[in-house]
Amino acid sequence: MIEVWAPQAQQVELELGAPDEPRERLPMVRDDRGWWRWEGEHTAYDVVDYAFVLDGEEPALPDPRSAWQPHGVDGPSRVFDTAAHEWRDSGWRGPRDGAGTLGGVVYELHIGTFTAEGTFDSAVERLDHLVDLGVDVVEILPVAAIPGRWGWGYDGVDLYAVHDALGGPAAFQRFVDACHERGLGVCLDVVYNHLGPSGNYLGRFGPYFTQTHMTPWGPAVNLDTPGSHEVRAFIVENALRWLRDFHVDALRLDAVHALVDEGERHLLVELSDAVADLARELGRPLDLIAESDLNDTTMVTPTADGGLGMTAQWADDVHHGLHVALTGETQGYYEDFAGGTRALPDGGPLDVLAKVLTRGFLHDGTWSSFRGREWGRPVDVDALDGRRLVTYLQTHDQVGNRATGDRISASLTPGRVAIGAALYLLGPGTPMVFMGEEFAASTPWQFFTDFTDEGMAEAVRAGRRAEFGSHGWADTVPDPQARSTRDASVLRWDELSSEPHASLFGWYRRLIALRREVLGTDETRFADVTCSVEDDGDTFVMTHRGIEVRADLASDTVTVTTTGADGTAEPLHFP
């Protein structure tokens, strides 16, 4: 059976056939909820391509729930049997043998630039590096089908499909299997707050969007106006499918603050409860990680206690505090993190850093100069499990959204990078490493696209130039559409054998091993962290459950001391 939801259509026909051959056109039957079905069999074809014709209008459109788009986002869909894969992970209990994602080390990677080939199968060849590093969970940037060959993945338009250039859905299943075989969990980044501008046909099928609410990308996804019941189901079922049929362990939800829902039960509550039910059914932990800029721990409060039920949320304030303290940059949203503002009037950058490392947020009801209003809500540090905040020194956003995609290691000494690593890897949050950070990769990670629509391609170019033109950087912004921009962003794995890359990799590996040894899988508390700035103004000290990090920002050196059960101390130094 093949079905599609198209409640506004008067007639829907199915085009069905083998690839590169004329497809037969077959009538579909509508039910009273607006679902159209074809009950026939397609076993006459070894490989089946199909598309839908709405009210006789050409061209035929791909399936909104397509699993595979081998002809691109504008072409027909291809039937894919998710149950055909012979899984080898029958003994898999979840990350860290059932402990789940919280508190483990997450590694954010983009399949398309992790290796030169940019495929799931080639990425498998580098998984042992992550095991050696001590990673627990691999977080994959979005894999939904996008226009062209490559991109970041956040302009996906076929949310059920796996981008063919990455290897398609079968390759993704092989990748997850290979991760589980090595003890690595898999977190998939999914985007439910918008679709990309090119190849987006959802609005042709039904009321997937509403102008009642607007977002930075235009009309919001319809979560609370007529027709929203099926739209919400489209999202929830998509999430459950990745977890169930692809054996994914966690989902990272992009910009959940843009999921505008004024209904009685927020979509995130519905999604959280559905995922919890599936976790009980499967007998393994399943996690939801929110990207939220609201600085409100209601996001990670259980639904039974009136919260939105996310397992964890990204903590940009920790990143901003680290970035300003280490680099001295204060433009844009970094301004408040330099101190001396209404957010923290009596302190400097290291005082701000102390606050975010002991409370999770700078803006916890304080004034945000960037937003021009008070932001966030107070945090009960005695009640909040620190692992529910994902902390980091770099992310795809914080690197890729810079004019030239330069990493923090491009402008800092290895010693300063080592300081930043020690502070977040040994803090109370769930730490996340951005690919290549662990060896101070020399390659940038730039913004790149491959739109086949020339109008869209030029609009993206112009947008990037305009975004950075006010800073005088318009002439230095790489062309997002140039293949060279993507190629420049591919990791160079040969760097691991040279300095300073090898030394930094060793430092990251030792810190992660120390975190596992001392903190384990137990809950953490921001209340257990103390930070101080010594009288010289350049020495920053963080202590956390028997671990002391002493950072000298004058000499760019750092010492980590651990007090064992016998009272002895074993220091680690960098350099």
- Three-class SS of 103-155: CCCEEEECHHHHCCCCCHHHHHCCHHHHHHHCCCEEEECCCCECCCCCCCCCC
Interval 278-298: pLDDT, tens: 999 999 999 999 999 999 999
Q: How many residues does the chain have?
A: 575
**What is the side-by-side strand order in the sheet with 12-17?**
24-27, 12-17, 49-54, 77-78
Query: Quick one: how far is CA 239 from the chain centroid?
Result: 14
What mean pLDDT value characterizes the chain? 95
Identity of residue 573:
H
Closest CA to 82 of 68, 69, 72, 61: 68
Interval 139-150: pLDDT, tens: 999 999 999 999
Q: Is the pLDDT score of 31 beyond 60? A: yes
Q: How confident is the model at residue 363 (pLDDT cuts 50, 70, 90)?
A: very high
Q: Is the pLDDT score of 533 beyond 90? A: yes
Q: How confident is the model at residue 51 (pLDDT cuts 50, 70, 90)?
A: very high
Closest CA to 518 of 478, 549, 495, 497: 549
DSSP sequence for 19-54: TTSPPEEEE-EE-TTSEEEE----TT-SS-EEEEEE
Q: Give the model's pLDDT for residue 470.
A: 63
Q: Are 141 and 172 in contact (CB under 8 A)?
A: no
Element of type H or E holding 389: strand 389-392
The two structure tokens encoding residue 524:
């953490």
Binding-site residues, in ranges, read 252-257, 316-320, 396-401
- Interatomic CA distance for residues 379 and 463, integer angstroms: 37
Domain 2-61 class in CATH: mainly beta
Q: Where in the chain are the domains? A: 2-61, 115-314, 530-574
- Interatomic CA distance for residues 135 and 184, integer angstroms: 7
Q: Give the model's pLDDT for residue 493.
A: 98
- The count of C-alpha atoms lying within 13 angstroms of the C-alpha of 165, restricted to the half-sphere facing its C-beta, is 22
Q: How confident is the model at residue 196 (pLDDT cuts 50, 70, 90)?
A: very high
- Interatomic CA distance for residues 114 and 108, integer angstroms: 10
Strands 569-574, 557-563: pairing is antiparallel
More confident residue, 565 or 154: 154
Q: Give the model's pLDDT for residue 466.
A: 82
Q: How confident is the model at residue 389 (pLDDT cuts 50, 70, 90)?
A: very high
Strands 35-38, 2-5: pairing is antiparallel
SS3 call for 167: coil
Q: Is the pLDDT score of 71 beyond 90? A: yes
Q: What is the mean pLDDT of residues 165-187?
A: 98
Q: How confident is the model at residue 45 (pLDDT cuts 50, 70, 90)?
A: confident
Catalytic residue among 136, 164, 291, 438: 291
The two structure tokens encoding residue 281:
């059914």
Q: At what angle do helices 316-327 and 414-425 cross, to 10 degrees?
A: 150
Q: Give the model's pLDDT for residue 566.
A: 60
Which residues, in sequence order, are CB contacts of 337 under 8 Å at separation 6+?
317, 320, 321, 323, 324, 325, 330, 349, 352, 362
Q: Is the pLDDT score of 564 beyond 70? A: no
Binding-site residues for substrate, in ranges, read 252-257, 316-320, 396-401
User: Cα dist. 439→130, 556, 559, 567 in Å?
Assistant: 12, 17, 19, 33
Q: Give the model's pLDDT for residue 111.
A: 98
Q: How confident is the model at residue 273 (pLDDT cuts 50, 70, 90)?
A: very high
Interval 305-338: pLDDT, tens: 999 999 999 999 999 999 999 999 999 999 999 9
Q: Is the pLDDT score of 451 beyond 90? A: yes
Interval 122-137: pLDDT, tens: 999 999 999 999 999 9
Q: Is residue 254 among the annotated active site residues?
A: yes
φ, ψ of residue 243 to 5 degrees: the values are: -75, -35
Interval 74-95: pLDDT, tens: 999 999 999 999 999 999 999 9
Q: Give the model's pLDDT for residue 43.
A: 74
Query: Quick one: how far is CA 408 from the chain centroid?
Result: 19
Q: What is the mean pLDDT of residues 454-473?
A: 81
- Interatomic CA distance for residues 381 and 251, integer angstroms: 25
Superfamily of domain 115-314: Glycosidases (3.20.20.80)
Residue 525 per-residue DSSP state: B
Q: How confident is the model at residue 272 (pLDDT cuts 50, 70, 90)?
A: very high
Work out the percent of the chain whose per-residue pLDDT is above 70: 98
Q: How confident is the model at residue 41 (pLDDT cuts 50, 70, 90)?
A: confident
Closest CA to 297 of 200, 386, 422, 221: 386
- Interatomic CA distance for residues 210 and 121, integer angstroms: 39
Q: How confident is the model at residue 44 (pLDDT cuts 50, 70, 90)?
A: confident
User: Cα dist. 509→164, 334, 569 in Å?
Assistant: 34, 29, 19
Q: Give the model's pLDDT for residue 68.
A: 98
Q: Give the model's pLDDT for residue 468.
A: 79
Q: Are 388 and 297 in contact (CB under 8 A)?
A: yes
Interval 211-258: pLDDT, tens: 999 999 999 999 999 999 999 999 999 999 999 999 999 999 999 999
- Interatomic CA distance for residues 250 and 285, integer angstroms: 8
Interval 507-516: pLDDT, tens: 999 999 999 9
Closest CA to 130 of 115, 117, 150, 151: 115
Catalytic residue among 158, 177, 254, 364: 254
**What is the side-by-side strand order in the sheet with 2-5?**
2-5, 35-38, 29-30
Q: Is the pLDDT score of 473 beyond 80? A: no
Which residues, in sequence order, are CB contacts of 568 under 8 Å at separation 6+?
none
Q: What is the mean pLDDT of residues 33-44?
A: 90
Q: Give the model's pLDDT for residue 568.
A: 62
Q: Are 351 and 360 in contact (CB under 8 A)?
A: no
Closest CA to 489 of 437, 537, 447, 428: 447
- Interatomic CA distance for residues 339 and 321, integer angstroms: 10
Q: What is the mean pLDDT of residues 9-20?
A: 95
Q: Is the pLDDT score of 565 beyond 70? A: no
